[in-house]
Amino acid sequence: MKVIQLFFIITSLTLAACTSDEAQMLNPTLENFQTHLKVDMDYQALVSKFGNPAKDIGSGIHIYVYVLPDATEVWIGYEDAILYARQVDAQGNELLRIL
């Protein structure tokens, strides 16, 4: 009986950890970018905070694309530093300037 209780406790703690702020950042929302994206972040900091971008659509500079739950995207223009960040619709029209 104690083994079952211990298993239940460990499973519960593991599930709770998976819903932490860091785990949620692997599927970031617009609010996550508005709150946590900083102009001085390098690529490793972006990946660490928001996960790998879905794609890089840049030509000349990197434009890292993150797909949001509402199917809009966050585009982060990056060279040696973040140049801009914006939310865009499916046609690439700017909806919101984040940075």
pLDDT for 15 equals 47
The confidence score (pLDDT) of residue 23 equals 41
pLDDT tens digits, residue range 20-66? Answer: 444 445 679 999 999 999 999 999 999 999 999 999 999 899 999 99
Contact 90, 67 (CB under 8 A): no
**What residue segments make up the domains of the chain, in order of their start?**
2-97
Count other Cβ atoms within 10 Å, centred on residue 76: 26
pTM of the model: 0.74
Residue 7 has pLDDT above 70, yes or no: no
What pLDDT shows up at residue 25? 52
CATH code for the structural domain at 2-97: 3.30.1450.10
What's the whole-number average pLDDT of the chain?
83
Q: Are 98 and 34 in contact, with CB atoms under 8 Å apart?
A: yes
